[in-house]
């Protein structure tokens, strides 16, 4: 195969990866009020709402609550898949991962928009971020391993494809409260598929792709916290160059 053909395969793989990666919005689980949630072109989530009367500059701290997983356990059907019998443990680990990811994203924010606190202080300068995982589809590890097929091997480079109909997916709903009053002042909901890669090592583990989706959400929450009026925050890329 010539170098031109090799570059052609890369182009085809990239175009396939960029087509239709965004998952359809998940049905409402009721954690966030669906009557208020609407698409917002400036926010990278499927739906978003915030109280326009709130003075956000008055908040300087944020508490990240434990991630709710009850909705996911009731509404998803992947309990019957390859992880049957391990679901509750998997869900508990994902909840801890998501909370830690959100805390780390806000703590590492170079703009230091909010100080992360470890208790839900009854304080008018503190926000409480409540999130719920409402749907998760883990990587189909067995299928991905069996269907990894080299397009080209010749100069020390291999391009692989993963099972096209077995992509990881995750969905969340979120509420943001004023810590002093308990009033809900913002809502969000999103559903995302895994990012595509020419060489996809993530798909060989159950939840690495889901972890990647969660980490992207965490960064987007920080971007929204730092958002200027009228600024558009782009969604995650459908394609990544790194295999992990």
Q: How confident is the model at residue 203 (pLDDT cuts 50, 70, 90)?
A: very low
Q: Tell me if 196 is assigned to some domain.
A: yes
Name the residue among 129, 204, 209 with its Cα closest to residue 174: 129
Residues 6+ apart with CB under 8 A from 199: 158, 159, 160, 243
Radius of gyration, CA atoms only, the chain: 20
Q: Tell me if 241 is assigned to some domain.
A: no
Q: Tell me if 220 is assigned to some domain.
A: yes
Q: Tell me if 230 is assigned to some domain.
A: no
pTM for the predicted model, two decimal places: 0.76
pLDDT in tens, 132-188: 999 888 765 433 433 433 433 333 332 333 333 456 788 999 999 999 999 999 999
Q: Tell me if 123 is assigned to some domain.
A: yes
170 and 189 Cβ atoms separated by less than 8 Å: no
- Name beta bridge partners: 173: 132, 189
18-21 long-range Cβ contacts below 8 angstroms, 24+ apart: 18/196, 18/238, 18/239, 21/193, 21/195, 21/196, 21/238, 21/239
pLDDT in tens, 7-64: 444 444 444 444 445 678 888 999 999 999 999 999 999 999 999 999 999 999 999 9
Q: Tell me if 208 is assigned to some domain.
A: yes
Question: Mean of the pLDDT values across residues 216-243?
Answer: 79
Percent of the chain with pLDDT strictly greater than 90: 51
In order, the DSSP letters of 189-200 are EEEEEPPB-SS-
- The count of structural domains within the chain is 1
Dihedral (CA of 92, 98, 103, 108) sign = positive
Q: What domain range is 167 assigned to?
A: 3-225
End-to-end alpha carbon distance in the chain: 27
Q: Tell me if 161 is assigned to some domain.
A: yes
Q: Tell me if 87 is assigned to some domain.
A: yes
Distance between CA atoms of 99 and 92, rounded to whole angstroms? 11
96-114 CB burial, b ≥16 within 10 A, e <16 = ebbbebbbebbeebeeebb
Q: Indicate the burial class of 28 (C-beta count within 10 angstroms; 0-12, 13-18, 19 or more).
A: middle
């Amino acid at each position: 195969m010539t170098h031109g053909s090799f570059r052609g395969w890369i182009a085809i793989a990239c175009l396939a990866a960029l087509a239709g990666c965004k998952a359809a919005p998940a049905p409402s689980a009721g954690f966030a009020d669906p009557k208020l949630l609407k698409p917002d072109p400036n926010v990278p989530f499927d739906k978003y709402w915030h109280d326009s009367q709130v003075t956000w500059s008055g908040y300087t701290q944020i508490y990240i609550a434990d991630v709710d997983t009850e909705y996911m356990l009731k509404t998803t059907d992947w309990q019957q898949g390859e992880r049957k019998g391990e679901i509750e443990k998997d869900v508990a680990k994902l909840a801890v991962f998501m909370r830690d990811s959100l805390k780390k994203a806000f703590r590492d924010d170079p703009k230091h928009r909010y100080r992360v606190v470890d208790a839900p202080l009854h304080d008018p300068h503190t926000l409480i971020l409540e999130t719920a995982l409402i749907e998760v589809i883990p990587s189909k590890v067995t299928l991905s391993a069996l269907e990894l097929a080299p397009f080209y091997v010749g100069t020390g480079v291999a391009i692989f494809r993963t099972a096209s109909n077995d992509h990881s997916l995750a969905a969340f709903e979120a509420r943001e409260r004023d810590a002093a009053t308990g009033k809900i002042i913002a809502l969000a909901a999103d559903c995302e598929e895994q990012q595509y890669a020419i060489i996809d090592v993530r798909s060989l583990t159950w939840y690495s792709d889901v972890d990647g989706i969660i980490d992207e959400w965490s960064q987007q929450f920080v971007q929204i916290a730092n958002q200027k009026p009228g600024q558009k925050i782009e969604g995650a890329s459908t394609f990544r160059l790194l295999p992990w």
